[in-house]
A and B are shown apart, each in its own frame.
Chain A
Amino acid sequence: MTLNVNVRQLTKTSWLMLSVMMFSTTISAGEWSGYIAGEYRYFQHESPFSEPGQHDPSIAFAPEYYHEWDDGQQSLIIAPFLRLDNEDAERTHADLREFQWLYVQDDWELRLGISKVFWGVTESQHLVDVINQTDLVENIDTEDKLGQPMINLSFFEDWGTIDLFVMPYFRERTFAGKDGRFRAPLVVDTDKARYESGAGRQHLDVAIRWSHTFGDWDVGLSHFYGTNRQPLLTPNAQFDALIPYYETMHQTGLDLQQTNESWLWKLEVIRRETTSDTFTALTGGFEYTFYGVFESDMDIGLISEYLFDDRDDELQIAFEDDVMMGARLTWNDEQSTELLIGMIQDVDSSDHSWNVEASRRIGDRWKVSAEARFFSVRNNDTTFYSLRDDDYFQIELARYF
């Protein structure tokens, strides 16, 4: 399913790219880079549902082609992504993360094709970041994104940067299949997705963002109008599957960071309006770093953020009144060893989750990463209740080229 969509997109975009490249005269040879990674996930408990197992090996392949000409004023990136998962057919998927032609001038830039954009400053969640769809089957931390077809025009002025986006095609969120972990009692039937807009996936989404730096302050202000990346999930008539329903939304976002010596103060606020709901949500907090602790080269950063959402419906919202606390350990050694430990605690209950991420380079071309998440959820009317038995440990070995 995902594969078909991507092939169609790829064909459409490749014609565009080819015609663009015809105009360019002096094309120097491009270069390939990327990685291939083997991953193994072990789930501590059996799934409450019959199909998913406790062991999940998989492979990811992410090559990237880059090619620039015209003295660097024009460039092309092609970055496909492929995951082959031993357990979940839905997690076996391919995507074009990037297929982008970039044209650079002094005061403006044009990006055309499939691209990836990040907005925001906070660590625990990314409220403001709304351009790309989440590739949820990759990781439930929502940091993996699907490539978004777009025209992006950026203007650079003394008073800041203006980014304009036109997005002609919508990417649906990926969800675990019946054999996958991190699923609800009913599996999401992504083939039956419905849209509020009659244009469906072809709804023309638009966005504008202004961003600027004032001394210690980095500010971003954005507005998005288009298909909500986060679908409502409702059971079908037979009550044997969840159907994603994508509403159209307006979202205004503010992101703010003050950098003051070892302190980073961060805030993200959004106001989202859809037919079913209008709400405000925010993430705010700090990161403070102790440099060179215990007479070593190690840095320890302490992170704390408050997560708020003014909606009452806990089934639709991940974090409505929660506190995140974490520590980031950076060894600053030759192998770039890092460790991040985080915990999110619901203020109104005992529900919480732990998150540990570590990585270390081996030689010049290998990297080993480990990740573990533990969920302690008793409250059965929250989004996290279905994850209560999905505690897992993951190890990944990647070879870069």
Chain B
Amino acid sequence: MRNIIFLLALTAVMPLAQAETAEEKGLAIAIESDNRDKGWSDSSAEMRMVLRNRHGKESTRKIRVTNLEVDGDGDKGLTVFDTPRDVKGTAFLSYSHALVPDEQWIFLPALKRVKRISSSNKSGPFMGSEFAYEDISSFEIPKYSYKYLRDETIDGIECFVSELRPQYKHSGYTKTHVWIDKEEYRVQKIEFYDRKDSLLKIQRYKEYKLFLGQYWRAHVQTMENQQNGKSTTLYWDNFQFKTGLTDKDFEKNDLKRQR
């Protein structure tokens, strides 16, 4: 942590181009990307998740997500399931943190029971999809170590490519390779490497749209598993920002009245 603050100070003083190590450059890119996405306060969106197995058979989940930006810590998130119908009304509350374990509660509508759950299942699949819990949790600088690898152009977009290594416990990855475009510092592509360091998944971000003149949101995220042939696509819709949500809207009491 102290190391990061030091590096933060360092990057603030030094322009990017000066002789810096690959680690410093990787961190600087991450910080710039993170900074450009600050100040959205709260957001809500609807998501359709399409799971495809290796024979191309599809199944769909519909989810609503609200988030609260927390300064100096991980965000708070509330997720409500609309389909499949047997889990309709199931709600999931998460206070994410950079390095200490997240706090998570789940509401089971059939029993009206709010359960505090362990957040150690970072590498487990989210709703049977190819997205792991750690893939959809909020991005925080201290979660990774960084190393700039190279510049590369993908689909006509000039990108920085960095290697990130998870610093939090229970990750399913040794490392990820992340493509961030030079113009807007948006994530374009991520390669995930499993615990044996072989390529596991590739995620692509498409259809970025700009909100409030500052916040870019990808409307299509596709995760392709390179080992089992399955894929999951998230289709986002109806993004809203600064709707006036507060901490009060992200408490375990709120789980009970989600629909």
Binding site for B on A (CB under 8 A): 33, 35, 66, 68, 75, 102, 104, 106-107, 109, 116-118, 120-121, 143, 154, 156, 161, 213, 218, 257, 259, 261-264, 289, 291-292, 297, 299, 332-336, 361, 363-365, 367, 398, 400-401
Residue in A117, A263, A336 whose beta carbon sits within 8 Å of that of B112 in the complex: A117
Interface pair A213/B111, CB less than 8 Å apart: no
| B125 neighbours in A (Cβ, 8 Å) | 297, 332-333
List the one stretch of B18-26, B141-149, B246-254 in contact with chain A: B246-254
Q: Beyond the given A33-B85, A121-B116, A289-B121, could you list 11 further A-B residue pairs with CB under 8 A, ordered by the A residue number?
A: A35-B85, A35-B86, A291-B121, A332-B125, A334-B59, A336-B84, A364-B83, A364-B85, A365-B84, A365-B85, A401-B85
For A289, the closest partner residue in chain B by CB is B118
Interface pair A261/B85, CB less than 8 Å apart: no
Given A361-B84, A400-B86, answer yes or no on A259-B112 (Cβ-Cβ < 8 Å): no
By Cβ-Cβ distance, the 9 closest A-B pairs, closest first, are A400-B85, A334-B128, A118-B113, A118-B112, A291-B121, A262-B120, A367-B86, A332-B125, A116-B112
Nearest-Cβ distance from residue B176 to partner chain A, whole angstroms: 18
Q: Report the count of interface residues on B (CB-CB < 8 A).
A: 36
Give 15 pairs: A residue, B residue, CB < 8 Å, sorted on A.
A35-B85, A109-B257, A120-B113, A121-B116, A156-B248, A156-B253, A259-B117, A261-B169, A262-B118, A289-B120, A292-B121, A334-B59, A363-B59, A364-B60, A400-B85
Interface pair B111/A143, CB less than 8 Å apart: yes
Interface pair B253/A154, CB less than 8 Å apart: yes
| A398 neighbours in B (Cβ, 8 Å) | 86
Given A109-B257, A118-B111, answer yes or no on A332-B124 (Cβ-Cβ < 8 Å): yes
Distance, CA A401 to CA B83, complexed state (A): 10
Nearest-Cβ distance from residue A190 to partner chain B, whole angstroms: 24
B166 interface residue per 8 A CB criterion: no
Interface pair A161/B124, CB less than 8 Å apart: no
Interface pair B112/A106, CB less than 8 Å apart: no
B150 interface residue per 8 A CB criterion: no
For B101, the closest partner residue in chain A by CB is A261
| B51 neighbours in A (Cβ, 8 Å) | 334
Interface pair B257/A259, CB less than 8 Å apart: no
